[in-house]
Structure 1
Amino acid sequence: MINESVLLESRTLRTSVLERTDVLDRVKALSLLPDGLHVTTAMVAAYYEVAETAIRQLIQRHRDELTGNGMAVLRGSELQDFESDNLSPSKRRSLTIYSRRAVLNVGMLLRDSEVARQVRTYLLDAEHEVRTHPVDNLVHRVTWGNLHERIDNRITDVLGKTVVPMLNVLIETSGEQRRELISLREDVQQIQMKLVEHDLQISRLQRGQEVRALTGVIGTIDAMNWKEFELHVAELLRRDGCTDVEVYGGHGGDRGVDITAKTADGRTVAVQCKNFAPFRHVLSGEMQKFLGSSKVLHQADVALYVATCAFTRESLAIAAQGGVTAVHRGLLEAWSAGVRLQVLR
């Protein structure tokens, strides 16, 4: 068994376990901003029970690594947009935000934090358990794989299309219970993430493939330009059995969509691709525009809005009402790594 301290010295080892963000919640509950994706420097410091200065000093030494794993500094209009959705307005000139992956990265670098030490120990224990898992147990899981997959997908679909939108509406209209509802929504989103991870594991086993970590998947996507991103999404559609996949590449004939295709069972597909910075949000006006293009102009049976960021509450509500599947950053990562979208099955 490797000692947890080696994570402090080996960036390669840190990279190999960065997908295990579930460890954060196993060690201690991690509070997230209302977007369900990010935390601030103060929230990172509170989680690891250290002063904010310790986090800032860590950033100075490891800025490139943390930035590559989801840390970003917001300024100007980007900061204003983010604050309007997630924080009370302030006079701050900049704001550093962290994804769950970046928070985990911090835990593998912090020396003087008991919580960080527990995170490192838990990470290596979990990794050791995965690598030494008996073969017979894996075979048993494959035997029941189809049943687990159907149950997971049904629950995920209900949570994403019914429960989360309902909580969003309640949060918007509630007063005293707002904080409790936000906490409940975070719990539901955590369940969704775990179900997606479980579906990913089952899918890998069913295809007879070796378990492949998500490490680097979202980083590769972030490095793409808009054209490369559209081609990437087109390949995902083909991988999942779609035919007649056509990428318009932004020219005038697209009529408001970036990709069209047909599912294996003949349903028409219209796709919007947005290669946004991870701290941005897809706004309600953008979703309304795509809803009109996909459902009215193209009369698509399946409408996918694929983005490298999150969606605002309002845009998610519009998507749910109009029958648009919102493929947010987390779901995009899982889809790119091998999970098939439920709507394409």
Structure 2
Amino acid sequence: MINETALLESKTLRSNMLDRADVLNRVKALSLLPDGMHVTTAMAAAYFSVTVEAIRALVHDHRSELEASGYQVLSGPELSDFKQLSGIQSRTRSLALFSRRAILNVAMLLRDSEVARQVRVYLLDAEYQARTQPVDNSVHTDVTSLDDRIDHRIAHILGQTVVPMFNALIASSSEHRRELITLREDIQNVERKLCWHHQRINALEGDAPTDQVRSSLKAMTWQAFERHVAGLLRRDGCTDVVVRQARSDCGIDVTARTADGRTVAVQCKNRAGRWVVPSADMQKFAGAARAIDPADVALFVATCNFSHEAQAVAKLSGIVTVNGDELEAWSAGVRLSELR
């Protein structure tokens, strides 16, 4: 098992664990800015129960690593745009912001904080659970079609029956919540490996699954597309999934809640051809998901690409974009890391 010293000393180990920011709220509630995605230096210091100077010193020593995980300093027009989109009031000429991943990165570096130490304990425990699970990455070209159908059917049962059962148990249980989440992750790992196995067999036989997914998405109406995205959220462990399917939704089509309690807001755009999502649509969704109906995780899912301006607005607002290619992979069985 990896020990705490190795995590403190190894940048590679820390980088491999940045997708597990959900552990932060398991240790202590992390207060966020109105944009629902960032914290200031003072807020980071309050979370870890250390001084602001301690956080600044850590940034000074590990700035490049923290920037790679989401730390940034805004000034000038970028700061003005962020203030406008997030609704915060500040007269400073620059503003240092930490994403949830950057806060997790700080937890893996900060030595003189009991909160940071507890976060590392959660991370190491999760890593140990993942490493002790048996993994079989072998793919045999002589697997029969019957075995392939059995694998596909088992994956379907796991995704449609067993995982939702664990979701219900997690939602109703407090005493054994952590154990249930770990068990559900084990089940989902098996499901993903079976889906991967099924896709590799189809690819070897000349039946590319992405072609099937692409055709299916193109045939969907906007109502069917929203229901499809809702189904993907449920498959990835979300609960309380609601499809609004109303034109007075202020840009939010689907709402949900992740397994660790974070709220999710989703905008769905089903467009064909060379159409791209414009910045106006992204700004409308940013206003809804960050100000009108604030959500912890904001997803903009589209069957096409996003304009450069829309991508810039999404980055400033902390919105996760899922373009056509990423949507196909998500639909084919790949989980979104933001929902873990």
- Please report the TM-score for the alignment, with normalisation by the length of structure 2: 0.52
* SS of alignment partner, residue 18 of structure 1: coil
1:339 pairs with 330, 335, 338, which one?
Answer: 330
Contact 2:74 2:94 survives alignment (8 Å): yes
Q: Which residue of 2 aligns with 1:128?
A: 128
Q: 1:50-74 CA deviation, whole Å, 9 max, x = no partner?
A: 1111111111111111101111111
* Cα distance change of structure 1 residues 116 and 208 upon mapping to structure 2, 3 Å threshold: same
Q: Which residue of 2 aligns with 1:54?
A: 54
1:313 pairs with 287, 291, 300, which one?
Answer: 287
Letter in 1 for 2:322: L
Letter in 2 for 1:340: S
What is the rounded CA distance, in whole Å, between the counterparts of 2:211 and 2:100 in structure 1? 28
What is the rounded CA distance, in whole Å, between the counterparts of 1:73 and 1:143 in structure 2? 45
Residues paired across the two proteins, number: 221
Is the counterpart of residue 21 in structure 1 residue 21 in structure 2? Answer: yes
* Cα distance change of structure 1 residues 151 and 242 upon mapping to structure 2, 3 Å threshold: same
What is the rounded CA distance, in whole Å, between the counterparts of 2:154 and 2:112 in structure 1? 40
Q: Larger relative contact order (C-alpha < 8 A, sep ≥ 6)? A: 2
What is the rounded CA distance, in whole Å, between the counterparts of 1:57 and 1:6 in structure 2? 21
* Cα distance change of structure 1 residues 97 and 317 upon mapping to structure 2, 3 Å threshold: closer
Is the counterpart of residue 204 in structure 1 residue 192 in structure 2? Answer: yes
Q: 1:22-76 CA deviation, whole Å, 9 max, x = no partner?
A: 1111111111222221111111111111111111111111111110111111111
Is the counterpart of residue 326 in structure 1 residue 326 in structure 2? Answer: no
Letter in 1 for 2:214: C
* Cα distance change of structure 1 residues 132 and 202 upon mapping to structure 2, 3 Å threshold: closer
Q: Unmatched 5+ residue regions in structure 2?
A: 136-150, 169-181, 199-208, 226-250, 252-268, 293-298, 302-313, 334-340
1:110 CA displacement: 0.6
- Please report the TM-score for the alignment, with normalisation by the length of structure 1: 0.51
Contact 2:159 2:188 survives alignment (8 Å): no
What is the rounded CA distance, in whole Å, between the counterparts of 2:332 and 2:37 in structure 1? 21
Q: 1:78-104 CA deviation, whole Å, 9 max, x = no partner?
A: 111212233542220000111111110
* SS of alignment partner, residue 45 of structure 1: helix
Q: Identical aligned pairs, as a percentage?
A: 43
1:241 CA displacement: 2.5
Is the counterpart of residue 146 in structure 1 residue 159 in structure 2? Answer: yes
* SS of alignment partner, residue 90 of structure 2: coil
Q: Which residue of 2 aligns with 1:30?
A: 30
* Cα distance change of structure 1 residues 75 and 338 upon mapping to structure 2, 3 Å threshold: same
* Cα distance change of structure 1 residues 20 and 304 upon mapping to structure 2, 3 Å threshold: farther
* Cα distance change of structure 1 residues 46 and 337 upon mapping to structure 2, 3 Å threshold: farther
Is the counterpart of residue 69 in structure 1 residue 60 in structure 2? Answer: no
* SS of alignment partner, residue 74 of structure 2: strand
* SS of alignment partner, residue 97 of structure 1: strand
